[in-house]
Amino acid sequence: MPRRISVYTDEYQHTNPVPAACRIDNVVHSGAIVGTDREHGTARTLDEQCSVMFRRLRDIVAAAGCDLSDVVKVTLWMADRRDRSAVNREWTALFPDPADRPARHVVQVELDEATLIQCDFVAVLPR
């Protein structure tokens, strides 16, 4: 088995020739994850984009052979970082236990086209 494993999912693929994530040994880093799907394209509202984005995050985590308890850090890039209500709703649904949540950081940036939010994650699997 190769040391570096590219992680792909059927539902979420980049337009560029890059995987959704990469795993080396017990560490997984994702690429950028946005609120798009093949059938509908980019979701229109921040609520919809957050819902799809976090669903994609779960899919990629699973495809990498880990689960949400292995995620140690999530970074979010937002067009307007002050509007975190949609993020927090999805976040607390994904990680309901305040004592068992990954670190999170939010950065405000200019994003492509209709994208209002994107994220990436780092996960560490048990050895």
Reported in sequence order, the residue ranges of 8-127 that DSSP labels E, i.e. its strands, are 21-24, 27-30, 33-34, 36-37, 41-42, 71-78, 103-108, 117-124
DSSP assignment letter at 70? G
The confidence band for 58, taking pLDDT boundaries of 50, 70 and 90, is very high
Tens of pLDDT, residues 70-122? 999 999 999 999 999 999 999 999 999 999 999 999 999 999 889 999 999 99
**120 DSSP assignment:** E
Region 30-37 average pLDDT: 90
Better pLDDT: 21 or 1? 21
pTM > 0.85: yes or no: yes
| Per-residue DSSP letter, 92 | H
Report the C-alpha gap between 105 and 15 in whole angstroms. Answer: 26
Cα 25 to Cα 35: distance, rounded to the nearest angstrom: 28
pLDDT for the residue numbered 15: 75
61 and 125 Cβ atoms separated by less than 8 Å? no
Distance of alpha carbon 90 from the chain centroid: 12
How many beta carbons lie within 10 A of that of residue 115, not counting itself? 20
Compute the mean pLDDT over every residue in the chain, rounded to the nearest whole number: 93
What is the model's pLDDT at position 71?
Answer: 98
